[in-house]
Amino acid sequence: MIVEEFIEKNILNFFTILLSRKHLGP
Calculate the CA dihedral of residues 14, 1, 5, 17 and round it to 10 degrees.
Answer: -10
CA quadruple 14, 18, 23, 26: dihedral sign: positive
The reply to whether the predicted model has a pTM over 0.95 is no
**pLDDT digits (tens), the chain, 26 positions:** 689 999 999 999 999 999 998 877 56
pLDDT of residue 25: 59
pLDDT at residue 22, as a whole number: 80
CA 11/CA 19 separation, integer angstroms = 12
Gap between the Cα atoms of 14 and 8, Å rounded: 10
The confidence score (pLDDT) of residue 21 equals 86
